[in-house]
Chain A
Amino acid sequence: MEALTSLLAGFETALTPINLLWALIGVTLGTLVGVLPGIGPALTVALLLPVTAKLPAVSAFIMFAGIYYGGMFGGSTTSILLNTPGESASIITALEGNKMARKGRAAAALATAAIGSFIAGTIGTLLLTFAAPAIAEIAVQITPSAKFALIMLAFVTISATFGGSPLRGLLSLFMGLAIGLVGTDLQSGQARFALGRPELLDGIDFITVVIGLFAIGETLYVASRLRKGKSDVIKLEGGATMSKQDWRRSWGPWLRGTALGFPFGAIPAGGAEIPTFLSYTLEKRLSKHPEEFGHGAIEGVAGPEAANNASAAGVLVPLLTLGLPTSATAAILLAAFQQYGLQPGPLLFLTNGELVWGLIASLYIGNVMLLALNLPLAPVWARLLLIPRPFLYAGILVFSTVGVYSLNNSVFDLGLLALFGVIGYGMRRFDFPVTPAIIGVVLGPTAEAQFRTALQQSNGDFSIFVRQPLTAFLMLCVLAALLVPQVLKYRASRRAA
């Protein structure tokens, strides 16, 4: 019941006219940028960070909530009309949704994606409302050693367990950790790896790393292997609508997709990719017409798209209650909190209750706005896909420059941006995943702080990491997450030989 009272107070915050306006601007900008090909939800949030720079914290986060969900909605529109997933979680939508669009069923594909996202987002936000305070209450008692173990678990699952190549994922993670080390050590005041540059004493701004690796890296990489010829956009007449039969075939996948997506978002398991694949497989198995899958089955859009959005809501549970981002987008949101001097975690509910509950309430509002925006305005968003590539990528670069320059008004940061752009190019060319690096930059300093606090409390006794029960259990999970996939792979290769 307590959650309900808090939520109502949150709605009081979020429903003021000015905050409603920020929410509306947030969802509109989020959708607008998210629709642009080549920009996934993570980059959408990163590019729009400077827009909120001068706002009070509560309004800024209400806008972020809109940008976050809006970026997801925009991404699915692109996947369906263009067959180009902006991120790995949209691969399935691109596969099946684009096939539907090619058969002239673009309106139905967009509608089932939008309504499914709305339902999944709303149910996910409901679950977040009731789960978050309960988890926050438990989380207050977690010891520093267990927090360190939890971060280790997030590191390993995100970089090694679910990726294509564990070695490359771990290398990416360690590169991120190394970047996170640069600057003044907060506990001792000791400068580390600053190379004598005063600009580096404050550390490297996380936003510079994200925009460099994602936006500049992508631009350089695409330029080096540009596809010639026009991209193939589906024409759209009128808004997104569905027939009665589409509704009948969609509601089951929506609910099942939500049930799969939310828990996967809430545990550190590498984001929304897995639940979308699981949802697709499940729908194919349950379907009365499995032969339609791969040729434009509506269930194959409805389920995964719901899973994707429910996972986006689930990601906010560990982010708000533990300060633990489990996806690249969540890591950027965490950095946004830190820019306002806020540390997400169990204490945030006590110290900044108004902000947290205002944010949660605005998630409900944003979802309703997105539905209202996306169904009738689908053709407008579709027009954005027609922007010629040279002008689109040039615009992305200009926006990246604004975002990074406005952090400290420093040209030195733009030099760093170019450097991370080149690294981002290399990561794409040599198959290193970007997300582990991002997580490493954001969580590295936190991991170090918890590690040191834990050892301060135990007077330098390292056995704290195996004696404290919860810590020991989490450390076992870390080992399992590292070793089990390897063992399975080895056995599979033995069997194949």
Chain B
Amino acid sequence: MTQPPPTPSTRPPISVPDLLVALALTALGAALFLGSREIPFGINAVVGPRVFPLIVSVGLTVLGLLLTVSVLRGDRAEPAAEEDTDLTVPVNLASPGIILGGFVLGAAVLTTAGFVIGTAIMYFSVAWAFGERRVGLMAGVALAVALVTYVAFTRGLGLNLPPGVLKGVL
């Protein structure tokens, strides 16, 4: 340790995102607590259905408050270093947005257009979000993966997946 210890007057700055997370967790605990009080005591039971939710919600609230205090004192979270990630590049929130958007769209049309079309949309959007731009190849691979998955799970393993527009074809 070559640096001098920080004096109380030069507090580290408060990280706003961290503070929001801590407050959100505290609020979640409080909301659960209010919800727990709605649960009836139960009859003929020594410990009814509301005791455990009360314990969990109080615990979550207290822990959330502790985290809020520690964030206010300058604590901040280190983002996880995963494989394929680079923590030095600026955070790009558009890519996760594209993935979520594609996922929601694919899920929305899953029963009407069918499993193959729905998951192909998901596949395409993830590949796009990860920087792939060879559109023809992506569309081909997306459809192929979706088709093979569909056939393997429905024919091979007997699961029911919605055929959608391909009904009768497959």
Contact = CB atoms under 8 A, between A and B. Distances in A.
Interface of A: 37-38, 50-51, 53-54, 82, 84-86, 167-168, 170-171, 174-175, 177-178, 181, 185, 187-188, 190, 192-193, 216, 218-228, 231, 388-391, 393-395, 397-399, 401-402, 405-406, 409, 411, 414-415, 418, 421-422, 425-426, 428-432, 444, 448, 451-452, 455-456, 459-460, 496-497
A297 to B, nearest CB: 23
B82 A414 contact: no
Given A51-B157, A390-B127, A451-B47, A228 B63 contact: no
Contacts of A85: 83
B60 A389 contact: no
Given A402-B149, A418-B103, A167 B108 contact: no
A489 to B, nearest CB: 14
Contacts of B60: 171, 174-175, 177-178
A431 B91 CA distance: 16
B131 A226 contact: yes
Given A84-B84, A170-B63, A187-B45, A50 B35 contact: no
Q: Which of A390, A422, A460 has the most CB of B within 10 A?
A: A390
Contact of B130 (A86, A181, A226, A399): A226
B40 A190 contact: yes
A218 B92 CA distance: 15
A38 B126 CA distance: 15
B161 A406 contact: yes
Interface string B135-169: 00010011001100100010001111110000000
Interface residues of B, number: 83
Contact of B84 (A193, A216, A227): A227
Interface of B: 1, 5, 17-18, 21, 25, 28-29, 32, 35, 39-40, 42-43, 45-49, 51-53, 56-57, 59-60, 63-64, 66-67, 70, 77-80, 82-87, 89, 91-93, 95-96, 98-100, 103-104, 106-108, 110-111, 115, 118-119, 122-124, 126-132, 138, 141-142, 145-146, 149, 153, 157-162
29 contacts: A37-B84, A84-B84, A85-B83, A167-B66, A171-B63, A178-B60, A185-B49, A188-B49, A190-B40, A220-B99, A220-B100, A221-B85, A224-B96, A225-B92, A226-B95, A390-B138, A397-B99, A397-B122, A399-B149, A401-B122, A402-B149, A405-B161, A409-B160, A415-B107, A428-B80, A428-B82, A429-B77, A452-B45, A452-B52
B86 A418 contact: no
Contacts of B80: 221, 428-429, 431
B83 A37 contact: yes
Contacts of A86: 83
A401 B104 CA distance: 11
Given A390-B126, A456-B46, A178 B106 contact: no
Contacts of B78: 431
B77 to A, nearest CB: 4
